Amino acid sequence: MADFFESVYAADPPGGSRIERAGWDIGGPQPVLVELERAGAISGEVLDVGCGTGDNALYLAGLGYQVLGLDAAPSAIAHAKAKAERTHMPVGFAVADARSMAGYEHRFDTVLDSGLLHTFGGSDRRRYIRALRSVGKLGAVVHVLAVSDAAPPGPGPRRLAQQDLRSAFGAGWVIETLRRGEMLGALPGHPHGVIPAWLLTARLRAGAGA
């Protein structure tokens, strides 16, 4: 899966605003993130995990948040760094595998996952959730935007059921909200538009950090 993402990002040189072949790359922040921020749901040091070309991280940095974006695809990080340079935005970007994130322990107050969780199944998902626990400070909040089972079936990201999210954020987490919402983008074979999604907000329970 990591190779798939890397090949999509590597097909375009850094410097553009949007990667045509990447249905998830909309050239700006996801509207749901804008809503979350306006509602006061983002605080402290922020991790944008699976940040892609960095638009969500750059949006928050532009509002004054201290943000780090991590992605496993080196070409995604090259695109993100080029955008940060072009816009003079003080935001860090680095290559890392979200299933481990060694070196970032107990650091973040808010974690944003826009389109990453639904790329993981089985043991990869469990490793990822463990890694999320390790990077959050006590009481940290994780916001997840993931394609839902209300989306048309077909290739592309997993379509998650409500129970998938409830099981993923079980022991060690308190699910504060789990609601149907929307993400902007394009599923394979569909034009750009609104994709049915879940928005989950979960809080790391005291004493649950790895």
Ligand X SMILES: C[S@@+](CC[C@H](N)C(=O)[O-])C[C@H]1O[C@@H](n2cnc3c(N)ncnc32)[C@H](O)[C@@H]1O
Residues forming the site for ligand X (CB under 6 A): 1-2, 5, 24-25, 30, 50-52, 56, 71-73, 76, 97-99, 114-116, 119
Residue with Cβ nearer ligand X (63 or 206): 63
Residue with Cβ nearer ligand X (34 or 174): 34
- Closest alpha carbon to 68 in 37, 101, 35, 99: 101
- Smallest gap from Cβ 69 to ligand X, in A, equals 8
Residue with Cβ nearer ligand X (76 or 202): 76
Residue with Cβ nearer ligand X (5 or 65): 5
Nearest position to ligand X, beta carbon: 52
Burial class (CB in 10 A: 0-12, 13-18, 19+), 190: middle
- Smallest gap from Cβ 207 to ligand X, in A, equals 26
Residue with Cβ nearer ligand X (56 or 204): 56
Residue with Cβ nearer ligand X (140 or 145): 145
- Smallest gap from Cβ 52 to ligand X, in A, equals 3
- Smallest gap from Cβ 20 to ligand X, in A, equals 14
- Smallest gap from Cβ 71 to ligand X, in A, equals 5
- Smallest gap from Cβ 88 to ligand X, in A, equals 21
DSSP bridge pairs for 46: 67, 110
Q: Are 142 and 205 in contact (CB under 8 A)?
A: no
Q: Are strands 173-185 and 193-204 parallel, antiparallel or unpaired?
A: antiparallel
Q: How far apart are CA 60 and CA 46, in angstroms?
A: 9
Strand arrangement of the beta sheet that strand 136-147 belongs to: 92-95, 67-71, 46-49, 108-114, 136-147, 193-204, 173-185
